[in-house]
A and B are shown apart, each in its own frame.
Chain A
């Protein structure tokens, strides 16, 4: 069964680029165009991994991640932050709210794929998870 990934990003062309790349590799991709829709989509589809933007029109990525981590069925779903904000403070905050990896835009597709694969290989122990932080 193909792995599923949810992309939460308000920029349609970024979503399109990620979808094109991931679908070509055989992933099943869902997407949401804002934070609230993203939380709903996560609850509905229970993806294997989530790619999450930070700056979005309604609720920001930190809040989305906080809500996802608070939902028992989703609390173990790895969240990959993908943001144009490259400041250390953004990275730290993303990790503090439960993000597993922080990647900055423009990203290298290989980094995104490696992160998805590493995080969805098998149920991660806390220690293994910490390697990505």
Chain B
């Protein structure tokens, strides 16, 4: 049996409420009906109990029906309650405003009972579908979370026995357990190499799981390219020497700093370099280089002199790199899980991946990183978005400081349809950040929620923490206009070049 729905009727005239009560008398078995004579009374009731629908008059003294609608829509948990507005016949402007504010239906006065009952039934049916969907989504989110935690635990549990295998093979190989023959040393090296590969796979597996669960944290800061390469170098050298491959580096002098998440850059570089080492012959050379790119960003490349592949295949691989979305994971036979993850990690750093290869001569895999410069960072974002969705409209929220958790995740938790988004913590802007969200997501609607969520977060933050979040500017623009708007906000004094 379906549950009895609870409905609130709001009108300042008692006679109207009485008339409604009489007209809907026959619905008592299926509806619990409540009545309020003012917006304040309605709000009080809406917070005290849970309504499945609210039917309100517009014209009331002090606060009107639209005010009630806006207040309900702007706050949890009342934002989910469907609101039906009762209006005069000819008031087109008011009807439009009511719909814009989120009214689910409009009904002309005077009310015909049969109409009201039919409309309300339809509204309640939709509401129950919505509730069902919401419950399913919550279950799915929990399942995803459980699955992700499981992956983390598995990864953790794998590492311990793997360490034991790898380390004892290495101990034996070093002769600590007694003399070993040349053949035995060779076999022990196979165990060591395989364990290293497995460890690398576990890292990829973990990253991949986090990327899908959108829990991979992003921490973009200013870094020197040489430092980023240096910090991965010992690991890469040990991988290279195990295969007797020579590792070279060529870093252009005077490279500007980049704005990136260091950990993601390291993981990208290690993935590409390990692939390059894998397909190199003994005594082959793998070169890691960094230089300035065409669009002002920095290009980091890994070149091997391995077998390479035909040019058309390189192009196909590149295309799959470019287009491969969640639904189109590229096949990475021979590349491990690495390439899929590289693509995602580079995208997090607002960069692009490319590949060139010549059969018999070797391959070069490259990725870009934005310079630590607001204009280049914003351009990189616009460029990346344009490649995926040239006609995308961008919603821009300029925040007075960085949102403590991923704003994108917060928006999604509010139900915003975020297709692609980034939260750019801008260098040299005193913690100001730009939240750019793909597609039209009605930024006005999410602004208040972001602020409220922030207040909630700050309650649990350590004392003396960050200041209040302040949204400086919001709006929705085409890609080209969004760029000018953002740069106009963050560097007003600068003459902004037109985006190509």
Contacts and interface: CB of A to CB of B under 8 A. Distances in A.
Contacts of B174: 24
Contact of A17 (B159, B163, B238): B163
Contact of B263 (A18, A88, A105, A111): A88
A24 B172 CA distance: 12
A111 to B, nearest CB: 7
A18 B113 CA distance: 82
Given A55-B156, A106-B195, A20 B176 contact: yes
Contacts of A106: 159, 162-163, 166-167, 195-196, 199
A86 interface: yes
A21 interface: yes
Interface residues of A, number: 22
B176 A24 contact: yes
A86 B203 contact: yes
Nearest to A86: B203
B156 A84 contact: yes
10 contacts: A11-B164, A13-B161, A20-B171, A24-B174, A24-B176, A84-B156, A105-B159, A105-B160, A105-B162, A106-B166
Contacts of A84: 156-157, 159-160, 163
Contact of B163 (A88, A89, A107): A107
Contacts of B156: 55, 84-85
Interface in B136-180: 156-157, 159-164, 166-168, 170-171, 174, 176-177
A108 interface: yes
A14 interface: yes
B121 interface: no
A124 interface: no
A86 B162 CA distance: 14
B265 interface: no
A88 B263 CA distance: 8
A105 B206 CA distance: 14
A11 B176 contact: no
Interface string A46-76: 0000000001000000000000000000000
Given A24-B176, A106-B199, A111-B234, A17 B160 contact: no
A109 B167 contact: yes
A105 B198 CA distance: 12
Given A11-B160, A24-B176, A17 B167 contact: yes
Interface of B: 156-157, 159-164, 166-168, 170-171, 174, 176-177, 195-196, 199, 203, 206, 217, 219, 234-235, 238, 263
A126 to B, nearest CB: 21
B280 to A, nearest CB: 21
Interface in A92-133: 104-111
B219 A17 contact: no
Contacts, number: 61
B200 to A, nearest CB: 10
A31 B219 CA distance: 37
A18 B157 CA distance: 18
Contact of B238 (A20, A24, A108): A108
Contacts of A20: 168, 171, 176-177
A21 B217 contact: no
Contacts of B164: 11, 13-14, 17
Contacts of A108: 235, 238
Contacts of A105: 159-160, 162-163
Interface of A: 11, 13-14, 17-18, 20-21, 24, 55, 84-86, 88-89, 104-111
Closest CB pairs A-B (n = 7): A84-B159, A106-B163, A17-B167, A13-B164, A105-B163, A24-B176, A105-B159
Contacts of A24: 171, 174, 176
Contacts of B161: 13
Given A14-B164, A106-B159, A106-B162, A21 B219 contact: no
Contacts of B217: 88-89
A55 B161 CA distance: 15
A64 to B, nearest CB: 18
Given A88-B263, A106-B195, A21 B171 contact: yes
Contacts of A89: 217
B203 to A, nearest CB: 7
Contacts of B196: 106
B199 A21 contact: no
A11 B235 CA distance: 25
A107 B159 CA distance: 10
A20 B174 CA distance: 11
Nearest to A25: B176
A37 B170 CA distance: 29
A21 B176 contact: yes
A17 B171 contact: yes
A28 B195 CA distance: 28
A88 B215 CA distance: 13
A86 B234 CA distance: 17
A36 B234 CA distance: 34
A14 B176 CA distance: 16
B206 A86 contact: yes
Nearest to B166: A106
B163 A14 contact: yes
